[in-house]
Homo-oligomer: A and B are copies of this chain.
């Protein structure tokens, strides 16, 4: 099925299934039922079966899915074994925190696929300093960096007021995917992908129910 025909919500669930499978100790003869996946992933089991069937994965009646094989299949569907290089734009509080978090995940799990390869800011006092061995460069140096290495994902942790211009610039330089932490809606061309994340939004939503 073509990527752009797969609904976001399905991908979100597949990513969650892969995560729950990764958490299991399993040998080549171990199976997992859709009910168990459903329980761990917080979806209903009919949904699990439907999602997996979309990609040709059918469980064995009364037994379930072979854990290792299903894990490999999900990794293949999600191309989850490809290393993805990340550039962080905006090395303030949150940018620094994310960099530390991603770097320590990578140290803890060597096959962690996300690797920070670039740090960008416009604050002169930061430029030229090093964080976890990576130099902070001026955002305007992005084109030169992209001559030597590919950056798959731009993490946007700049102030809201400049988020759009940073993304517009990064798109013009060739970056095609963004994880946005700025509280603004980014306008991007149709072929550019933006994922939005905001701890405050999560907290606001949670707080409503408390």
Number of interface residues of A (CB under 8 A): 60
Comparing A64-72, A123-131, A175-183, the segment that makes contact with chain B is: A175-183
Question: Which residue on chain B has the smallest CB distance to residue A16?
Answer: B201
Shortest Cβ gap from A132 to chain B (Å): 11
* Chain B residues within 8 Å of A84, by CB: 203, 207, 210
* Chain B residues within 8 Å of A23, by CB: 160, 183-184
By the criterion CB–CB under 8 Å, are B195 and A15 in contact? no
Tell me whether A193 is interfacial, beta carbon within 8 Å.
Answer: yes
**Among candidates B6, B11, B193, B207, residue contacting A153 with C-beta atoms closer than 8 Å:** B207
* Cβ contacts A88-103/B at 8 Å (1 or 0 each): 0000011011101110
Shortest Cβ gap from A196 to chain B (Å): 8
Question: Which residue on chain B has the smallest CB distance to residue A114?
Answer: B203
Interface positions of A from 187 to 210, Cβ below 8 Å from B: 193, 195, 197, 199-210
Interface positions of A from 150 to 192, Cβ below 8 Å from B: 152-153, 160, 176-179, 183-185
Alpha-carbon separation in the docked complex, A195 to B205 (Å):
8
* Chain B residues within 8 Å of A206, by CB: 153, 177-179, 193, 195
Also in contact, A208 and B98, with CB within 8 A (given A16-B201, A41-B185, A201-B19): no
Interface positions of A from 94 to 124, Cβ below 8 Å from B: 94, 96-98, 100-102, 104-105, 113-114
List of 6 A-B pairs having minimum Cβ-Cβ separation, nearest first? A97-B97, A195-B206, A177-B210, A15-B204, A193-B209, A93-B104
Q: Show 9 residue pairs from A and B whose CB-CB distance is below 8 angstroms, ordered by the A residue.
A: A12-B205, A15-B201, A23-B160, A84-B207, A113-B207, A153-B203, A177-B209, A195-B203, A197-B202
